[in-house]
Homo-oligomer: A and B are copies of this chain.
Amino acid sequence: MSRRIFLALQQLLGPSHVQNSEEAAPYLTDKQGRYVGQVIAAVHPANTEEVAAVVRMCVATDTPVVVQGGNTGLMGGATPDASGRAVLLLLDRMNRVRTVDIDNDTLTVEAGCILQTVQDVARDAGRLFPLSLGAEGSCTIGGNLGTNAGGTAVLRYGNTRELTLGLEVVTAEGEIWNGLRGLRKDNTGYDLRDLFIGSEGTLGIITAATLKLFPLPKARATALLAFDSLAQAVQLLSHVRAGFGASLTAFELLSADCLSLLREQFPQGPQPFLGAGQPWFALLELSDNHSESHARQTFEEVLGEAFERELLANAWIAESLVQSEALWLLRENMSEAQKRAGRNMKHDISVPTSQVVAFVAHTDALLQAHFPGVRHFTFGHLGDGNLHYNVAHPLGSTVEAHMADYAALSLLVHDSAHAHGGSISAEHGIGQRKRDILERYKSPVELDLMRRIKQALDPKNLLNPGKVLEVLAS
Interface window among A188-196, A220-228, A324-332, A405-413 = A188-196
Question: Does A469 belong to the interface (CB within 8 Å)?
Answer: yes
Residue of B nearest to A426 (CB): B185
Residue of B nearest to A237 (CB): B103
Q: What CA separation (Å) do A424 and B186 show in the bound complex?
A: 8
Is A171 within 8 A of B421, CB to CB? no
Choose one: B147, B352, B449, B454; the contact of A192 (CB below 8 Å). B449
A219 to chain B, nearest CB (A): 11
Contacts of A450 in B (CB 8 A): 189-190, 192
A391 to chain B, nearest CB (A): 20
- Give A228-254 as 1s and 0s: 1 = Cβ < 8 Å from B's Cβ atoms: 000000100010011111110000000
Choose one: B176, B188, B194, B381; the contact of A424 (CB below 8 Å). B188
Interface window among A12-20, A62-70, A274-282, A437-445 = A437-445
Question: Does A25 belong to the interface (CB within 8 Å)?
Answer: no
Question: Does A197 belong to the interface (CB within 8 Å)?
Answer: yes
Is B187 within 8 A of A103, CB to CB? no
Q: 4 closest pairs, A vs B, by CB?
A: A246-B246, A103-B354, A456-B456, A245-B289
Question: Does A132 belong to the interface (CB within 8 Å)?
Answer: no
A152 to chain B, nearest CB (A): 12
In the complex, chain A residues 442-474 whose Cβ is within 8 Å of any chain B Cβ:
442-443, 445-446, 449-450, 452-457, 468-469
Contacts of A191 in B (CB 8 A): 148, 161, 191, 194-195, 197-199
- Give A31-72 as 1s and 0s: 1 = Cβ < 8 Å from B's Cβ atoms: 000000000000000000000000000000000000000000
Choose one: B192, B246, B352, B426; the contact of A245 (CB below 8 Å). B246
Question: Does A207 belong to the interface (CB within 8 Å)?
Answer: no
Q: What CA separation (Å) do A355 and B101 show in the bound complex?
A: 10
Q: What CA separation (Å) do A329 and B369 show in the bound complex?
A: 63
Is B184 within 8 A of A190, CB to CB? no
Q: What CA separation (Å) do A162 and B195 show in the bound complex?
A: 14
Q: For the complex formed by this chain, how many copies does it contain in all?
A: 2
Interface window among A255-263, A264-272, A427-435 = A427-435
Choose one: B106, B161, B430; the contact of A352 (CB below 8 Å). B106
Q: What CA separation (Å) do A431 and B449 show in the bound complex?
A: 24
A/B interface sample: 30 pairs, CB < 8 A: A101-B352, A102-B238, A105-B353, A106-B352, A150-B185, A159-B185, A171-B445, A177-B443, A178-B443, A179-B446, A183-B351, A183-B352, A183-B385, A185-B350, A185-B426, A186-B423, A188-B424, A188-B425, A188-B442, A189-B430, A189-B438, A189-B469, A191-B194, A191-B198, A192-B450, A194-B195, A215-B242, A216-B242, A246-B246, A452-B457
In the complex, chain A residues 350-386 whose Cβ is within 8 Å of any chain B Cβ:
350-355, 381, 384-386
Question: Does A217 belong to the interface (CB within 8 Å)?
Answer: yes
Q: What CA separation (Å) do A434 and B177 show in the bound complex?
A: 21
Is A188 within 8 A of B385, CB to CB? no
Choose one: B178, B350, B453; the contact of A183 (CB below 8 Å). B350
A68 to chain B, nearest CB (A): 18
